Amino acid sequence: MARDSCLAKITAGVAVGGALGGAVGAVYGTYEAIRYRVPGLMKVRYIGQTTLGSAAVFGLFLGAGSLIHCGKGY
């Protein structure tokens, strides 16, 4: 498989988007859990759901953007 193959670019886009989305989701989820005074261990679940949801959305969009740019030769 070539280094600059389309699949490699898409995979890298999804990975970067997932990492970025996870970081943003963790920060936002923690802020929201404290703001709305989520009780006890429900904070962990709330933060986890926010982190995974945000990582999935960011990963999807960066993967789609990489797919769109895949065929363009600059």
pLDDT digits 0-9 by tens, 8-25: 999 999 999 999 999 999
Q: Which pLDDT does position 2 carry in this prediction?
A: 55
Q: What is the number of structural domains in the chain? A: 1
Q: Which pLDDT does position 72 carry in this prediction?
A: 72
Is 53 within a domain?
yes
Q: What are the helix (H) ranges across 1-74?
A: 6-35, 42-70
The reply to whether the predicted model has a pTM over 0.95 is no
Parent domain of 63: 28-69
Is 43 within a domain?
yes
Is 17 within a domain?
no
Is 10 within a domain?
no
Q: Which pLDDT does position 38 carry in this prediction?
A: 95
Is 13 within a domain?
no
Is 20 within a domain?
no
Is 65 within a domain?
yes
Is 34 within a domain?
yes
How many other C-beta atoms can be found within 10 angstroms of the C-beta atom of residue 50? 21
